Amino acid sequence: MSKPSESPPGAALLRSLLSTGTKADLMVLFHRNPGLIDTVDGIATRIGRKGDSIRTDVLELEKDSFLMKKKVGKAEVYYLNRERDMKAQEEMASYIFSMGKKAP
Q: Is residue 34 part of a domain?
A: yes
CB 78 within 8 A of CB 68: yes
User: How does DSSP classify residue 104?
Assistant: -
What pTM did the predictor assign? Answer: 0.79
CB count in 10 Å sphere of residue 62: 15
What is the structure's pLDDT at 104?
Answer: 58
CB count in 10 Å sphere of residue 52: 10
The number of folded domains in the chain is 1
Domain that holds residue 86: 9-94
pLDDT in tens, the chain (104 residues): 444 446 676 777 777 777 788 999 999 999 999 899 999 999 999 999 999 999 999 999 999 899 999 999 999 999 999 999 888 888 888 888 887 776 55
Coil/strand/helix, residue 1: coil
> Which whole-number Å values give the CA distances from 95 to 7, 8, 84, in the listed order?
10, 7, 17
- Enumerate the β-bridge partners of residue 55: none
Q: Is residue 4 part of a domain?
A: no
CATH number of the domain at 24, please. Answer: 1.10.10.10
Coil/strand/helix, residue 78: strand
What is the structure's pLDDT at 32?
Answer: 94
What is the structure's pLDDT at 16?
Answer: 78
Q: Is residue 55 part of a domain?
A: yes
Q: Is residue 17 part of a domain?
A: yes
What is the structure's pLDDT at 1?
Answer: 45
